[in-house]
Each structure stands twice: as C-alpha cells, then as structure tokens.
Structure 1
Amino acid sequence: MDWNKTKTIFIVVFSILNIFLYSLYINQRTEAQNVQVAGKTSIEDLMKQENITYNVPQVVKNDFSYISANIKTFTEEELVPLENQSIEIIDNKRIESEMSTPVSILNTKEEYYFKDFLTKYVWNGAEYEFWKVDEEARKAIFFQKVNGEPIFYSSNATLTIYWDEDYEVTHYEQRMLEEFSSEEHKKEVLSQDEAVGSLVTRGLLKLDSKVLKVTPGYSSLVQLTGKQVFGPTWNIRVELKDGTIEDHFISAIEGKVIDFKLDKLEEEELDEAEDEKE
C-alpha cells in the first residue's frame, strides 16, 4: 500500500467534509438572520399587520455555547436519605419511586405547588424546573437545569411526577445528567429579537397572538455512548387568540426551528422500557 497516497486521499476527503459542514452552517445561519436582512422596521410592521404582541423583558446571553454531559449513574447509597418512598433503580440510570404515603402537591389556595415535594422527596430536586402539567394524565413534567437554564425535552434530563384524584403524588420517575462542560470556543448566537423575528418571517406566529415570554435553554444535538451534546436554544412561548398556548424552539446557533413533542419523549421512554424487559 502506498501510505503517502492514502494519507493524501484522507486529507482531501476531510477537507471536503469540513467545507461542506461549514457551508451548511453558513446557509442555516443566513436563513436565521433573515431578520436582519428584512430590517427591524419591516419586522415590526409585519407584527402590526398580524396584530402580534411582543413586549417581554430582554434576555441577553453572553455565555451561550455548546455543552456536553454524562448520563447520571444512580447508586442505592446516595438515595438512602430520601424518605417515605420505595425506590428502584433501572439500568443504573433511571429512578422509579413509589410513595409509601401519598403527598399533596396543592397549596392552601388549591393551586399546584411542587417545590416542597422536589426539595424533600427527589434527589437533587432543586436542579429541575417545572415545564408542564398534563391534567388528563395527572402528571407534571420537569426539565433539568444547567447554568440555570432548562434542557428541553431530553429523556435523560427529565423528572415526571404522577398523582391520584386527590392530587396526592403516588410515584415519580427521574433521570439526570452530570459532569457538564462547556465548549471553550464561543460561536455567534441569535439574539432574543432575532429568534422572535425569525418566527415572524417564517409565518409561525399566528394572527392576533401574543408572545408571553422568551426563555434561553438547551436542546440535544447528538448522543454518544453515555455522553450527550446540547446546543443553545431559544423557547418562545405564545398565546393564541383563543387562549391556546404554543411553544416554539429555535437553535440559537444554527437558526433552525426545532419541533419537540411530549408524546415523542414518552415513546422514547416506552421503547427503552421494552428493551429493558427483553
């Protein structure tokens, strides 16, 4: 084998791959920044024409970058202090806990209040942020936080709490990530206004809608063996004319719209549960 010739071929192939990836990034970035091309005034005019209300506090993120993390491996010893529950560790990475005595998640005003439960009964419960309640299924979804921001829709960074007809928690399921690290090289990211403007120019914000809040967070890019990589992401929560709430997600670096579904997250969990049974 002619090693020099083989080495040259490898160099050429990787150079072509790098050029392709860079051009892909530029194209995605250009699409996302059509806000700037259209101009701030035209975006504002378009919002007025569609009667879209956008008046929320500005969030500036100067430390937005890719992060990586390992899947948390739970041990029985560290869970011993948790009271009033029977805990089973599945495949070393998922907790399934049954409450010995059901615990109420309502406050004196008959409103949902999860803070006490997270603090007392969930391992490192303060690391999770409330996301959504499913009234029909009697459950609440929580996302793990990193750098104070939520990790959106990662099955390995989610806590799910279930309750009965008396609003008392009967059981919960928990997964976590750990050993977070940030990429040293910071890339240029979309600002909050650019993210909202991108939704407007794409026609994703409906007539007579109202932007309720814009939240920075992270979403999954790739999963390797035991390790995951996450990219900075904007969550734009919108209220429609009929009161319906919609959540939109945009990659703060690639500028692409991300479609998350709770049912997809649940399907992943069910598939993994079936694999563990086999």
Structure 2
Amino acid sequence: MQWNQLKTLFILCFLVLDVYLLILFFNQQQESESTKTAPTAELSIEERMQEEKIEIKTDLPDEEIEESYITVKQKRFSEEEKELLMKKENLESAVAAKDLIVSRYEDPVPIPKDASKETINGLLKDTFLLPENYEYWDWNEEMNVLVFFQKKSGRPIYYNHNGIILVFLNDDNEAIFYTQTMLGDAVSSENEQSEIKPMLAIQQLLNDNRLESGDEITGINLGYYTFYPLPSGEQVFAPTWTITVNEEKNFYVNAMETLVIPSDELGFLTETAADIMNKVQTLEENTKLETFVINHLSEKLTTINRSETE
C-alpha cells in the first residue's frame, strides 16, 4: 500500500516537472522569436518614409534648438503710437477698444494675383504701425484677405487674435482696409527649456496618418501657437513646428509635447472678423469708417455662411 502511494507521488512529481519544463521551453522560444523580429518590426523614421516614398524637399535646421514656452499679454496702443499712425499717407485710421487698429486705404492698393511674398511686403508693410514686428504668411482666397502674423524672437505667432494684421481685398484684389492687433513683451520660461527636433514632428504626422504615400515635405518652420490663456489676461504660447506638405497644406505640431494641433484657417478668420465687427462698433469719432468696415465684413461673412449651408 505504501509502495503504490509512493509510485503515485513520483508520477505526479514528474508530471509537474514536465509541465514546468514545457512552459519554460515555450517562453524561451517566444522570446527568441520576438528578439529576431524586433529590428524589422520597429522601423526608423527614415525607413518608414522611404517605404512610403515620402521625401523632404527642404533644409532641416542643422544646429540643436532649445526653446521654451513664452507668456505674452495683449498690447494697448499708446497716444504716441496713435499719432504715428495718423501721420501715415493714404490712410484713414482709428483705434477701437485701445487695442485694435482699423485703417482704410483712401486709394485702394492693387495686389497682383501672382505677387511674391517680397512684393506684398513691399506694397503694404510701410502702411502698418511697427511693421518690423510682422511677416506676411498667406492669402486666404475664401475671405480674400492677406494674413500677416506678428513675430516674437524672430518667429511667427500662428493664428492669434491678439497679434495679427488682416488686409481685406475687394473683388478686384485691391487692398481696401486692414485691421491690426499686437502682443506685448514676451517672458520666457527659462526653467522649461527643451531641445526640439523637426524629425519628431514629422514622425508624429506619420503616426497620426496625416501623411500620404508620395507626399513631399516642402517647408519646415518654427513659430509659436497658443497653448492656453491665463486668468490674468496673458496667454501662454508653445514652440510649434509648421510642416508644409506639397507646398499647399500646413500642419502644426507642438514642439514641446509633439502633439498635432488642429487648425482651421477659415474658421479662425470668420471668428476674428466677427470680433472685429464688435470692436469697431465702439468707435465714436469715425462713423464712416465704422460703416465701411462693418458692411464689408458682414457681406463677406454672409457669403461664406451661405456657401457652407448649400
């Protein structure tokens, strides 16, 4: 009886040992297979782009770039700046709510349809207040408006209501008036500096399936995008890569957190136009200018809303 019990015990021990060895064997085999396949499964960004036939047709920054968030508050125009504005020729100007310049061209300025960035700057920048703080960015054909972004540290601030010049054109592509807002001095978060690399932004576009096979990356620029507003009225801006694809579409990637920022240029412009209309209505000294601007913007917004509903 005892011998039978011992035999049974030995058999059970051997079965447990066999199961353990079998599990150990399978685990080792799986680890070996995963080790063999890992290098091919995780392709580098360059290999992924080569597979998708995506090419970079512009120069990447050579040096290491360290940037930080900046904090900026909207500027209110001083009496001296207003006087400087009023001295400019071919302009009828006013300041609404102390932070919005509205200037009508007494003689509209023709803008050639194929005008280069340099040509547009040459035709218009001298009519702006403190023009060295802005750079031409885009001609939005839906609103028929020229967009100039304000710069901080030599870099553009993308699509912010408080730091932008919009030059509105008539149906003959003549500049008829512009509006201007401006941000004040920037304060950097020196303790939050990080090294930012453009290839990480391109990689994020690949991960998010924003790039298609055969695409060409034709521009890479660094600027700032609104991160969040503060209760004090200041705004925090994050360093942001602009990746231009096929010379026509821009993607904005937060360079600090490598996140793609949703952008809607037409939506931004229509919202800004509505805000301009509200502020222009506060003008007390120049009702003709107020009526002219409001009528143009109202007609433009009505046309866009109608086209979106059809």
* TM value normalised by structure 2: 0.69
Secondary structure at 1:118's aligned position in 2? helix
Q: Does 1:157 align with 2:163?
A: yes
Aligned-pair CA distance for 1:259: 0.9
Rounded to whole Å, the distance in 1 between the matches of 2:278 and 2:64 is 40
1:126 maps to which of 109, 126, 132: 132
Correspondence for 1:181: 187
Q: Does 1:73 align with 2:76?
A: yes
2:261 maps to which of 245, 258, 263: 258
8 A contact 1:118–1:126 mirrored in 2: no
Aligned-pair CA distance for 1:134: 2.1
Map 1:1-278 onto structure 2 (within 5 A): 42-59=44-61, 60=63, 62-75=65-78, 76-106=82-112, 111-112=115-116, 113-224=119-230, 225-239=232-246, 245-273=248-276, 275-276=278-279, 277=281
Structure 1 runs of 4+ aligned residues shifted over 6 Å read: none
Rounded to whole Å, the distance in 2 between the matches of 1:135 and 1:231 is 28
Amino acid at match of 2:156: P
8 A contact 1:151–1:219 mirrored in 2: yes
* CA displacement 1:161-196 (0-9 Å, x = unmatched): 122344321111111112122122143243011111
Secondary structure at 1:83's aligned position in 2? coil
Higher alpha-carbon deviation: 256-265 or 128-137: 128-137
Amino acid at match of 1:255: T
CA RMSD, 1 decimal: 2.3
Secondary structure at 2:76's aligned position in 1? coil
Aligned-pair CA distance for 1:263: 2.4
Aligned-pair CA distance for 1:275: 4.9
Aligned-pair CA distance for 1:111: 2.4
Classify 1:173/1:236 alpha carbon distance in 2 versus 1 (closer, same or farther; 3 Å). same
Count matched residues: 234
8 A contact 2:149–2:157 mirrored in 1: yes
8 A contact 1:192–1:234 mirrored in 2: yes
Aligned-pair CA distance for 1:246: 1.5
Name structure 2 gaps, 5 residues minimum. 1-40, 283-310
Rounded to whole Å, the distance in 1 between the matches of 2:115 and 2:240 is 30
Larger Rg: 2
State the percentage of identical aligned residues: 27
Greater fraction helix: 2
Name structure 1 gaps, 5 residues minimum. 1-37
Secondary structure at 1:155's aligned position in 2? coil
8 A contact 1:139–1:161 mirrored in 2: yes
Task: Identify the structure with bigger relative contact order (alpha carbons < 8 Å, sequence gap 6+).
Answer: 1
* TM value normalised by structure 1: 0.76
